[in-house]
Amino acid sequence: MTDKSYWNDTEHGLRKVELRAAGFNPDDAAKRHPVVTIASPYTNAHRCNNRVQQIAELIIDALEQRGGQGLLVGAPAVSDALTQGTANAGYSLVSRDLMADCFETGHFAHHAQAMIVISGCDKTGAAAMMPLARTNAPGLVVYPGTSSPGAVNFSPWAEKGDNLTILDYAEGAAAHEAGKIGAIELQQLEKSVMPGSGTCGAMFTANTMSCITEAMGMMLARGASHTADYHADSEIHDDVKTQALASIDALYSLLDNGLRPRDIMTRAAFENAITVAYAMGGSTNMYLHLLAIARDAQVPLTIEDIQAIGERVPLIANLQPHGPFSMKTLHEVGGVPVVMKELLNHGLLHADALTVSGKTIADNLADTPELKDLTRKDVVLSVTKPIAAANNHISVLSGNIAPESCVLKLGGKTIEHGEFRGPARVFDSETEAMNAIRDDDIVAGDVIVVRRVGPVGAPGMPEMVHLTIQLQGRGLGKDVALITDGRFSGVSHGILIGHISPEAARGGPIGLVRDGDTVVINPLDRTLNVELSDAELSARANEQQPHTTDNSIQPGTVLDKYRRLVSSAHYGCVQ
């Protein structure tokens, strides 16, 4: 019974039984190489990932024709567009680690030798690289694509041309609620802004993560900016098909050359990714995701490291939310490589960093046109004449409200007189803050404070995007600041501070701020403070009742486990 050959024969026979039962020919399956995990976060529930299954099937068929075998591994793809502002918003960030766990588990359980990860909505973009870093299996990422933009014929949106995105509808809806546009205009926006599937169509979090993936070298060139389809009823876009098939060629090359993710996901690669994300005006969520990916890639990276790299990079891509253009427009002028070529020419990228093409960044960009040779000069600007100077996009701040850190997003805007100073308007939920805005209780000069919505407090650190949309739609985006221990969508813009750590639910001093306290935001000094003495803050801390967790979260659920295990935003909300 313990004879080794017996167990080998038995195992071989059992595997043939399993393969035959699953619909494979055992003899054919034994000859196939490589076995590739096709990490597929497909859902028909939303437009961000509803094309993933078609891409997965295309890849599996193409692998089979080349003698390989693709094995599908699924995971829940959560869209912020469906969860934002609801009681289930906490599941969005939570899904990042859950997806990565699913892909890692399926890869090892199915004994695969390589991995192609299809990404999508923003958390999927981070989750795509995490299992590649963990398993270190030869592999790369394919992006299912961003949404095609739309157009309308009335101001102020007509001036953007064919560049309207979900941001335009969201701010239009808030403007309608505030009486600034009529129902007919709102309906036209609704029908026009998004003619097809794909992720949110400009430099929001999903496209921030796709650009980071390409800049890091874990995606083929121009893979971050293509549109998902032509319209909602069409096939997937030809550019997506081309990228998917080229990615299979790249995978075979990676296997032939023994090149693995951690050979590519080096410190230099992370610095390139951060540089490109800053140059393109990326989302604040990149801080959480870069820290998580770096942890899995075993690359030392801190929140201050990201600040130090990013603060030297000017903003040069003229994309929403800080500019007028969509991701499709960037793709038409050459995509992310155009941005990277300009950065490389000015010594801002590591030219010798490897990529999944098997070539270096410099090699990949050798034939990319210079800005002066582009037909359009307004989509990507020069490093010497940028949209905004360096250190004027995202900054890491700290102070007596945020002893660990917080993240300020200005997106190229400046604060008059160098600081924003105003009375606190304190709320312990997004709903309370929303009601105050809609009731016109928020006025120019206020600092909205939303707390107990962090990784533990919510739990799940939901996005406060609907608050920022209301402020923009009511014309208060430049005059009201919003600070929170929650986070923001890439769609959000204004004077925004998120990721305040430690969060209120873990005893952070944001929980001590009261209505009327003066809050001071100083980007130049990189500080966030409330004008109270240490003695007053200490006295308030002694008076405050200990925070009790939300009893409505059932023990043993995903949110309960997350609340017990998650680190602060300062460390990337890793578990």
216 is a domain residue? yes
Q: Residue 416 sits in a domain of what CATH number?
A: 3.50.30.80
114 phi, psi to nearest 5 deg: -155, 175
Strand partners, 277: none
Distance separating alpha carbons of residues 476 and 495, to the nearest angstrom: 10
Q: Which residue carries 């010798």 as its tokens?
A: 352
Of 310, 339, 373, which marks where a domain is finished? 373
552 & 418 share domain: yes
Secondary structure (3-state) at 442: coil
Report pLDDT for 551: 72
| Number of domains forming the structure of the chain | 3
Q: Residue 330 sits in a domain of what CATH number?
A: 3.40.50.2300
382 is a domain residue? no
140 & 264 share domain: yes
Low-confidence ranges of the chain (pLDDT < 70): 1-15, 18, 22, 27, 29-31, 547-550
205 & 171 share domain: no
Which amino acid does the sequence have at 448? I
**Entry field: residues in the chain:** 575
Report pLDDT for 30: 65
Counting other chains too, the contacts that 155-164 makes at CB distance below 8 Å and 24 or more residues apart are: 157/189, 159/324, 160/324, 160/325, 162/326, 162/328, 162/329, 163/202, 163/320, 163/324, 163/325, 163/326, 163/328, 163/329, 164/189, 164/192, 164/193, 164/326
Distance separating alpha carbons of residues 464 and 484, to the nearest angstrom: 8
371 phi, psi to nearest 5 deg: -60, -40
Distance separating alpha carbons of residues 60 and 64, to the nearest angstrom: 6
Could you tell me whether strands 447-450 and 35-40 are parallel, antiparallel, or unpaired per DSSP bridges? unpaired
Distance separating alpha carbons of residues 411 and 235, to the nearest angstrom: 35
116 & 167 share domain: no
186 & 239 share domain: no
Report pLDDT for 139: 98
177 & 42 share domain: no
Of 138, 165, 192, which marks where a domain is finished? 192
Distance separating alpha carbons of residues 446 and 476, to the nearest angstrom: 10
Helix (H) or strand (E) holding 332: helix 327-332
185 & 280 share domain: no
170 & 140 share domain: no
3 is a domain residue? no
Q: Nearest CA to 467 among 458, 476, 459?
A: 476
Tokens of 16: 């043939």
Beta strands in 419-480, from DSSP E residues, in sequence order: 420-427, 447-450
250 is a domain residue? yes
369 & 442 share domain: no
- Establish whether the linkage from the previous residue to 144 is cis, with ω within 30° of 0: no
Report pLDDT for 170: 86
Distance separating alpha carbons of residues 248 and 65, to the nearest angstrom: 11
465 is a domain residue? yes
What is the DSSP annotation of 129-174? HHHHHHH--SEEEE---BPPPB--SSTTGGGG-S-B-HHHHHHHHH
Active-site annotation, residues = 489
- Establish whether the linkage from the previous residue to 156 is cis, with ω within 30° of 0: yes
Strand partners, 141: 117
Distance separating alpha carbons of residues 226 and 239, to the nearest angstrom: 6
| Structural contact between residues 420 and 441, judged by C-beta atoms closer than 8 angstroms | no
428 & 350 share domain: no
466 & 326 share domain: no
* Predicted TM-score (pTM) above 0.75: yes
| Structural contact between residues 349 and 227, judged by C-beta atoms closer than 8 angstroms | no
321 & 422 share domain: no
182 is a domain residue? yes
In terms of residue numbers, what domain contains 184?
Answer: 157-192
Residues near 308 by Cβ (< 8 Å), separated by ≥ 6?
A: none
DSSP state of 111: T
Tokens of 28: 């054919």
Distance separating alpha carbons of residues 225 and 337, to the nearest angstrom: 10
46 is a domain residue? yes
441 is a domain residue? yes
Tell which phi-psi region holds residue 307, choosing left (phi > 0), alpha (psi between -120 and 50) or beta: alpha
